[in-house]
Amino acid sequence: MATARDTAGPGPDRTVLVTGGAGFIGSALCRHLIRGGHTRVINLDKLTYAGSLTALAEVESSPRYRFVQGDIADRSLVAALLRDESIDAVMHLAAESHVDRSIDGPAIFIETNITGTFHLLEAALDHWRSLEGEARARFRFHHISTDEVFGDLPFDDSRFSEESPYRPSSPYSASKAAADHLVRAWHHTYGLPVVLSNCSNNYGPYQNAEKLIPLTITRAMRGETLPVYGNGANVRDWLHVDDHARALETIMRNGAPGASYAVGAREEHSNIAVVAAICDLLDERAPLVSVRSRRDLIRFVTDRPGHDRRYAIDPAKIERELGWQSEIRFTPGLAATIDWYLREAASAVQPPGTFLRA
């Protein structure tokens, strides 16, 4: 929902440094901000295995968009960008984000998510201190975090909120929790105007094929077996990435300094229900001759160590205070995502391998 402040005056009213803008959520955020017309975007991304410029083709020729390949921990590069581009807000999404990879190799998660965030905070603090008047009042450092920092929930009606205690379970969620603590400390100790958001699992176009929904869609499209951890009972609260991008802009523009916001769609589904829904939607759209139903391809595999049972978000605060609400329900959002993968696979310009790495 656009607010009066969102739409003040023609042309860009802010320049935002988006870190990790070549990732799944970051690229959706860049597309959203450029489409909106009110924001200049400087996208700083290291282009790790998780980053791709393909998802940014729509914005790359906009005069309000610039891509810079680089590391958030490169203090002199970040300082130059903050100064030379007159940055009004940092939206920090760059991270190592895959839980399974954090179990196999946690070191890079500590380096990027904790040390990288520290370097970015220091550069942002120097920049903010150099600003005066309106520019100083407008500046925000927005840390994009996860609901996984709160640990897991039992199978009841409890939900995470901004007040939930931190109980991270995996190296990934522990590193994001540490980053949240650093961001809050830079606010309390140095006065840096920060905002934080903790969101639930995202889905939508251009997600890396290691994650549950794209992995299942792409394997099911090819008629391959569909691995599901444990007994598939783990529950996640699914948020469409475009809904999330709108929430992030709202928080960056209107969030109160020092505040955090829990972002979710009230769409809780077990992993097995998600996989079954993908099977049924694909059977309708692209039936296979080799199998009667893609549900027959489901295979339960050894569970992930320390696999959290359930995540669920209570988004009442962002709904009440900032007027944001999720608009994309899960079933139509999932169907649209499947249609996107089918179009990508059918397109000669965009061969399936680009986002369908399994």
Q: Which is the catalytic residue, given 172, 261, 311, 341?
A: 172
Q: CA nearest 246: which of 6, 86, 45?
A: 6
Binding site for ligand NAD (CB under 6 A): 19-20, 22-26, 44-48, 50-51, 71-73, 93-95, 97, 112, 116, 144, 146, 176, 199, 201-202, 208
Q: CA nearest 111: which of 95, 128, 134?
A: 95
How far apart are CB 92 and ligand NAD at their closest, in Å?
7
Q: How many CB atoms lie within 10 A of CB 351?
A: 11
Give the residue at shortest CB distance from ligand NAD.
Answer: 23
In the numeric block, which tokens belong to residue 335? 């169907």
Q: Is 148 noted as a catalytic residue in this protein?
A: yes
The sign of the CA dihedral 50, 273, 167, 201 is positive
How far apart are CB 263 and ligand NAD at their closest, in Å?
9
| Measured distance CA(207)–CA(200) in Å, rounded | 15
Q: Which lies closer to ligand NAD via its Cβ, residue 201 or residue 337?
A: 201
Q: Which lies closer to ligand NAD via its Cβ, residue 73 or residue 221?
A: 73
- Angle separating helix axes 117-130 and 171-190, nearest 10 degrees: 20
Q: Which lies closer to ligand NAD via its Cβ, residue 15 or residue 208?
A: 208
Beta strands 268-270 and 39-45, pairing class: unpaired
| Measured distance CA(343)–CA(35) in Å, rounded | 22
Q: Which is the catalytic residue, given 71, 96, 148, 243?
A: 148
Q: Which is the catalytic residue, given 45, 71, 96, 147?
A: 147
Q: Is 49 noted as a catalytic residue in this protein?
A: no
| Measured distance CA(170)–CA(172) in Å, rounded | 5
Q: Give the distance, in angstroms, between the CA of residue 188 and the centroid of all CA atoms in the same chain.
A: 26
Q: Which lies closer to ligand NAD via its Cβ, residue 40 or residue 46?
A: 46
Q: What is the total residue count of the chain?
A: 358
In the numeric block, which tokens belong to residue 76? 């002199």
In the numeric block, which tokens belong to residue 358? 């399994």
How far apart are CB 47 and ligand NAD at their closest, in Å?
5
Q: Give the distance, in angstroms, between the CA of residue 14 and the centroid of all CA atoms in the same chain.
A: 21
Q: Which lies closer to ligand NAD via its Cβ, residue 41 or residue 297?
A: 41
Specify the residue for token string 């990288």.
116
Q: Which lies closer to ligand NAD via its Cβ, residue 108 or residue 291?
A: 108
| Measured distance CA(130)–CA(125) in Å, rounded | 9
CA dist list (Å): 300 to 35, 273, 296, 303, 347? 41, 13, 12, 9, 32
Q: Is 172 noted as a catalytic residue in this protein?
A: yes
How far apart are CB 56 and ligand NAD at their closest, in Å?
10
Point out the residues that are catalytic: 147-148, 172
